[in-house]
């Protein structure tokens, strides 16, 4: 079984090269599947609260045009600060918070205000340990060069909330669960600096070797099935069969993980995201004047927020209801606007930077695998470019959600296989992937330990590469070959290379016990030979060729079923 031998040989060397990283991939994958992503993101750290209905204050809220002392406005946002309606107004140089009822500019956000916000937001029962206004975002938020309020709690996870200094809006949540995830992610993608880049050569090389490692492992497993007929099945033999099939199934999934990981490293993140195909929104009037919010407030519908918005130069209000639905109102006419098919076509042509020839335009109201992360209803605009790009935009506001291309679709197939969510393609914490990842972690851990038993000092005897010893082999017919081979070479491999193929199923692992050969003179006795050979065979000089190394001139007698051909004799002597 020449192939089985080489599969085993290369498998152990591949494992030696990438074994630690493969174990890291498995261990980090277990954490990512067992700890739910919402918990990692810190969703459990923040209380859920029902938004304030701003429509109840329609007779009390001052309209923006009435607030003449704040100058010209880039954008404005009506929301709630606790039980108080407030405007968040962005001017050319600053962001202002304005009491929507009194019209007075609220004082700058200070530590006391942040403490109040943090206490109201935090879902735990721990005390605030420290509050700091940082000059820039910390590394766990990406390191952006902007100030941010940091609130640390004294719970066991070192939970931290971050608030924007201009608006008091909750920016992010972090805990040690996220920090562990981030550290493991760094090890997982092998980007030890930014912890973001997956398209680099180190990961590609490691993933390629990991794929070869898993493929050679699968190949060895197939050979364990071959010629392994059980004449008298019993409980033990049946358990072995179940064990092998389980290993085969897990091995196939491991191959899929390695292959999909390699594909992720090869596919450009830029092309997968598709954002490069979207033009920036055109704001024709960056300093448009104060606009009236009265049209939205007087509709008599429940409202959670109102925001000024520009769509291709048109001044609009985006109104979000308590039910999460959104609509847009034209500032000039105070009328509710619809994103019609023609309007969607105009927006798509304006915002798409590729070939603008449209194949089809479809209103989608149901979730699909492709639009699953976008808010319904939406328009899908298909273009006839090389990537078969589909641009998705909101049917409520005209906001462009994103672009899906053939590169993304290929990525998405591998993502489905990677997280083992074959329907929604969205749940990386499903029961199946958790069970398989735990099982493969156990298998990888056992394999990593076995690496140390698969090698011996002679595997690393590089100093003896130039030293030659003589091997003489003779078959039952008296045919004989003499081979000059490297000192400490494996007897089974040397004979195999000279077309003297001894029976073997395990490929030289010492587990099948079939590569019996007689050695004239003293010979080493391994533990595998003690288990596979009888006392009489050992006394007669019978050994397993895969367990013997040629450290001195030696003569061997090969079994009756092998005959040395004349052509082999000539090649060996030469």
Q: What is the pLDDT of residues 36-83, one digit of tens each?
A: 999 999 999 999 888 899 989 988 998 887 776 666 777 889 999 888
Between 102 and 64, the more confident residue is 102
Residue 439 lies in a domain: no
- pLDDT tier at 457 (50, 70, 90 boundaries)? low
Domain closes at, from 225, 249, 274: 274
Domain hosting residue 365, numbered range: 338-404
Determine the 3-state secondary structure of 183 from DSSP: helix
For helices 235-266 and 406-419, the axis angle rounded to 10 degrees is 150
Domains in the chain: how many in total? 4
Pairing label, strands 95-99, 326-330: unpaired
Residue 124 lies in a domain: yes
Cross-strand pairs, 327: 319
Residue 372 has pLDDT above 90, yes or no: yes
- Check whether residue 552 and residue 475 sit in a common domain: yes
Residue 445 lies in a domain: no
- Check whether residue 138 and residue 47 sit in a common domain: yes
- Return d(Cα 18, Cα 12) in angstroms, integer: 10
- Check whether residue 307 and residue 387 sit in a common domain: no
Average pLDDT, the chain: 87
What was the pLDDT predicted at 414?
Answer: 97
What letters, b where the CB count within 10 A reaches 16 and e where it falls short, cover 522-550?
Answer: ebeebebbeebbeeeeeeeebbbbbbbbb
- pLDDT tier at 284 (50, 70, 90 boundaries)? very low
- Check whether residue 299 and residue 352 sit in a common domain: no
Domain closes at, from 361, 389, 404: 404
Domain closes at, from 378, 404, 430: 404
- Return d(Cα 197, Cα 321) in angstroms, integer: 39
- Check whether residue 508 and residue 544 sit in a common domain: yes
Mean pLDDT of 171-189: 97
Token pair 């942040």 is at which residue? 114
Residue 282 has pLDDT above 70, yes or no: no
- Check whether residue 239 and residue 323 sit in a common domain: no
DSSP 335: P
Phi and psi torsions of 291, nearest 5° = -115, 155
- Return d(Cα 110, Cα 103) in angstroms, integer: 20
User: Is the N-terminal amide bond of 377 cis, ω within 30° of 0?
Assistant: yes
- Check whether residue 330 and residue 344 sit in a common domain: no
Would you state the structure tokens that stand for residue 404, as one six-digit string? Answer: 């899906």
Would you state the structure tokens that stand for residue 57, as one six-digit string? Answer: 């204050």
Residue 409 lies in a domain: no
DSSP 50: P
Phi and psi torsions of 465, nearest 5° = -65, -30
- pLDDT tier at 570 (50, 70, 90 boundaries)? very low
Residues 6+ apart with CB under 8 A from 145: 136, 137
Q: What percent of the chain has pLDDT over 90?
A: 51
- Check whether residue 50 and residue 168 sit in a common domain: yes
- Check whether residue 94 and residue 169 sit in a common domain: yes
- pLDDT tier at 245 (50, 70, 90 boundaries)? confident
- Check whether residue 372 and residue 512 sit in a common domain: no
pLDDT digits (tens, 9 = 90+) for 476-510: 888 888 888 888 888 888 888 888 888 887 767 77
- Check whether residue 468 and residue 547 sit in a common domain: yes
- Check whether residue 146 and residue 94 sit in a common domain: yes
């Amino acid at each position: 079984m020449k192939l089985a031998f080489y599969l085993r040989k290369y498998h152990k060397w591949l494992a030696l090269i990438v074994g630690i990283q493969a174990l890291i991939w498995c261990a980090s994958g277990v954490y990512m599947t067992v700890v739910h992503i919402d918990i990692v993101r810190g969703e459990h750290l923040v209380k859920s609260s029902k938004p304030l209905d701003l429509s109840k204050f329609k007779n009390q809220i001052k309209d923006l045009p009435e607030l003449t002392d704040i100058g010209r406005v880039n954008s404005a946002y009506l929301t709630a600060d606790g039980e108080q309606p407030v405007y968040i107004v962005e001017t050319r140089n600053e962001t202002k918070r304005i009491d929507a009822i009194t019209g007075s500019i609220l004082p700058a956000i200070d530590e006391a205000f942040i403490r109040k916000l943090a206490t109201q937001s935090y879902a735990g029962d721990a005390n605030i340990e420290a509050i700091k206004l940082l000059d820039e975002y910390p590394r766990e938020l990406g390191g952006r060069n902007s100030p941010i309020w940091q609130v640390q709690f004294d719970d066991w996870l070192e939970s931290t909330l971050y608030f924007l200094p201009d608006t008091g809006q909750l920016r992010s949540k972090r805990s040690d669960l996220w920090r562990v995830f981030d550290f493991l992610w760094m090890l997982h993608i092998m980007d030890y600096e930014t912890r973001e880049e997956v398209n680099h050569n180190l990961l590609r090389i490691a993933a390629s070797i990991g794929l070869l490692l898993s493929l050679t492992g699968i190949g060895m497993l197939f050979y364990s099935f071959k010629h392994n007929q059980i004449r008298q099945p019993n409980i033990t033999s049946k358990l072995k069969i179940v064990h092998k099939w389980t290993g085969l199934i897990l091995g196939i999934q491991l191959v899929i993980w390695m292959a999909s990981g390699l594909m992720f490293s090869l596919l450009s993140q830029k092309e997968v995201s598709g954002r490069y195909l979207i033009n920036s929104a055109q704001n024709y009037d960056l300093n448009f004047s104060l606009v009236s919010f009265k049209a939205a407030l007087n509709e008599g519908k429940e409202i959670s927020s109102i925001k000024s918005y520009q769509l291709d130069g048109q001044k609009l209000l985006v109104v979000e209801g308590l039910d999460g639905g959104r609509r847009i109102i034209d500032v000039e006419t105070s009328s509710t606007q619809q994103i019609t098919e023609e309007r969607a076509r105009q927006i798509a042509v304006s915002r798409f930077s590729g070939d603008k020839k449209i194949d089809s335009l479809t209103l989608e109201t149901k979730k699909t695998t492709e639009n699953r992360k976008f808010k319904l209803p939406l328009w899908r605009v298909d273009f006839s470019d090389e990537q078969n790009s589909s641009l998705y935009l909101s049917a409520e506001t005209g906001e462009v959600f994103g672009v899906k291309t053939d590169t993304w679709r290929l990525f998405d197939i591998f993502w489905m296989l990677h997280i083992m969510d074959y329907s929604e393609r969205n749940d990386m914490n499903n029961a199946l992937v958790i069970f398989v990842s735990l099982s493969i972690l156990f298998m990888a851990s056992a394999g990593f330990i076995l690496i140390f038993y698969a090698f011996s000092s002679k595997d690393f005897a590089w100093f003896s590469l130039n030293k030659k010893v003589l091997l003489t082999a003779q078959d039952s017919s008296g045919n004989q070959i003499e081979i000059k081979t490297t000192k400490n070479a494996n007897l089974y491999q040397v004979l195999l290379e000279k077309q003297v193929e001894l029976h073997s199923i395990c490929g030289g692992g010492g587990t099948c016990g079939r590569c019996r050969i007689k050695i004239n003179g003293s010979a080493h006795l391994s533990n595998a030979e003690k288990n596979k050979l009888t006392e009489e065979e050992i006394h007669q000089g019978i050994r397993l060729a895969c367990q013997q190394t040629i450290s001195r001139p030696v003569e061997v007698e090969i079994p009756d079923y092998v005959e040395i051909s004349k052509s082999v004799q000539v090649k060996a002597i030469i």
